[in-house]
Amino acid sequence: MKVKVLCRNPDDYVRETTRDIQRVPRNYDPTLHPFEVPREYTRALNATKLERVFAKPFVASLDGHRDGISCITKHAKSLSTIISGACDGEVKVWNLPRQECLRTVQAHEGFVRGICSRFCGTSFFTVGDDKTIKQWNWEAPGYGVREEPINTILGKAVFTGIDHHQREGTFVTCGQTVDIWDEQRSSPIRSFSWGVDSFSCVRYNPVETELLASCASDRSVVLYDTRESAPLRKVIMQLRSNTLCWNPMEAYYFTCANEDYNLYTYDIRHLDVPVTVHMDHVSAVLDVDYSPTGREFVSASFDKTIRIFPKDKGHSREVYHTKRMQHVICVRWSADNKYVLSGSDEMNIRLWKANASEKLGLLSAREKAATHYNKKLIEKFQHHPQVRRIARHRHLPGDILKQKRELREMREARRRKEQNVRKHSKPGSVPLLTEKEKHVVAVVE
């Protein structure tokens, strides 16, 4: 007779000393782990609830400006420095980790319309309402030395925006025309215009460094190539775009922030239909900036909120608001993908977390594993109604909620009317336009 009875040696299953960690033998046999799906679902529900519990995005407020903030720029090489320009001509350089102002410069008389930092990280340019372009040093001057710009250029008309090339020493300004300047010259080397009286914003493409785009006052977005002699083409929309931003990862996409409460992502190869229409704001969208990963962007709006949108979805994943924050004029996403900076009308720059429930600082390996697991669980069960209800829930201030409902009613009414018109007219006479096709008026070459 052959017999073997299961006999375990406790030494193999119990730890040797109290200084060791416990022994945890595993067996992944599915019959030992029944109810896999309901247990995962329960864990996903718990993870969603905890994510909402820990969602505290506000980090700090930078105080010091004496007028509303009109523009913010990041330092090209350092994560801890930013520079902001106010509506009284003051420019301040901030240190973010210590949340203090390093230096103040009275740069212009009147608004500071645009700031951009040079790619090498040694100087920055500002343009203002006094029709000048000034170049300043990043480092503060020594004790007792007066603050003086390295270079000043006088122009003929007010400049409304400025952007610097990624690799060469050229920058572009916009005002009455889009001008390309060389740093050594005091007059533009090239000037583009297309029968428009003013441009509000101009941006260099960070990947294809010879491409430019600008927002014009005739409700259009114009594309340029610096190697060509004339502008490439323009797309005319129903309302004017305030700002635009290129996707840093995909060279052919840009997103423009429009006055009709939406943002539009266009592919420069097919300007006739936007790739996505991002709808969630209840007032004009004033600024947009992409995350360095190119997967999301943040938008600032005249309704006192900032929203974070995924690049391919039509609705926002996050909305940040505070009672103290009034109309948000400019917004930037920090280069380490973790923070969002917003500058608003009430003279404050606020620092927010890009992921509201993220734990800052160094995480241990177990914490990281737990965060990844919870994120994946929420993603896996995101379509279940209970999980979706909790994950989607965001508190909105009363007027924004009311305005949202009103806008929804207006859209419903328009849609119903269109349907009725289509029902009662000859089939095919009223064409069926998708949401994307409704907003572009024309593409002009």
Partner 1 sequence: MNGESLEKKDPFPGEAPIPLKQLQKFQRGEKYKVPAGASRRLKEAIISSEAMSDLAQKQAARYDLLLPEDAGFLEGDEDEDTNTISQDVIADAVDITSGSKYFSLHLSQFGPYRLDYSRNGWHLLVGGKKGHVACIDWQSKCLMCEMNVMETVNDQLDQAMFAVAQKRWLYIYDSKGVELHCVKKFNDVLRMQFLPYHFLLATASATGFLQYLDVSVGKEVAAICTKMGPLDVMSQNPHNAIIHLGHPNGTVSLWSPNQKEPLVKMLCHRGAVRSLTVDKTGTRVSQSLDRKLKVQRGLLSAATGDIVQVYQNVLGSSPVSKPYMAHRLRGQIWGLAYCPFEDVLGIGHGEGFTSMIVPGAGEPNFDALDTNPYRSSKQRQEWEVKALLEKMQPELIGLDPGQLSKVDQASFEQRHKEQVEALGFDPLAKDKFKPKTKKKGRSSAGAIEKRKRKVAHEDQRDVIQQTVQERTEREKELKEKSKEKKNLENKTTLDRFRK
Which parts of this chain interact with partner 1 (CB under 8 A)?
A: 1-8, 10, 12-14, 22-39, 41-43, 46, 384, 415, 419, 422, 432
- Between CA 380 and CA 47 the distance in angstroms is 12
Residue 155, SS3 per DSSP: coil
Minimum CB distance to partner 1 smaller for 66 or for 405: 405
- Between CA 221 and CA 271 the distance in angstroms is 10
Minimum CB distance to partner 1 smaller for 317 or for 384: 384
* Closest separation in Å from C-beta 370 to partner 1: 12
* Closest separation in Å from C-beta 190 to partner 1: 33
| DSSP 8-state assignment for residue 10 | G
* Closest separation in Å from C-beta 39 to partner 1: 5
Minimum CB distance to partner 1 smaller for 190 or for 384: 384
- Asked whether 108 and 89 are in contact (CB, 8 A), the reply is yes
Structure tokens of 23? 């022994």
* Closest separation in Å from C-beta 134 to partner 1: 48
Q: Which residues contact 267 (CB under 8 A, 6 or more apart)?
A: 252, 253, 275
Half-sphere exposure of 181 (CA within 13 A, CB side): 23
Minimum CB distance to partner 1 smaller for 27 or for 364: 27
- Provide the CA 109 distance to its chain's centre, in angstroms: 29
- Asked whether 308 and 297 are in contact (CB, 8 A), the reply is yes
* Closest separation in Å from C-beta 367 to partner 1: 16
* Closest separation in Å from C-beta 277 to partner 1: 14
- Between CA 327 and CA 111 the distance in angstroms is 17
- Between CA 57 and CA 146 the distance in angstroms is 39
| DSSP codes joined into one string, 37-100 | HHHHHHHHHHHHHHHHHT---EEEEEE--SS-EEEEEE-SS-SSEEEEEETTSEEEEEETTTTE
- Between CA 260 and CA 283 the distance in angstroms is 7
Which of 76, 85, 119, 81 minimizes the C-alpha distance to 105?
Answer: 85
Q: Which residues contact 40 (CB under 8 A, 6 or more apart)?
A: 377, 380, 381
Minimum CB distance to partner 1 smaller for 168 or for 412: 412
Minimum CB distance to partner 1 smaller for 13 or for 58: 13
Minimum CB distance to partner 1 smaller for 161 or for 274: 274
* Closest separation in Å from C-beta 371 to partner 1: 17
* Closest separation in Å from C-beta 411 to partner 1: 12
Minimum CB distance to partner 1 smaller for 4 or for 323: 4
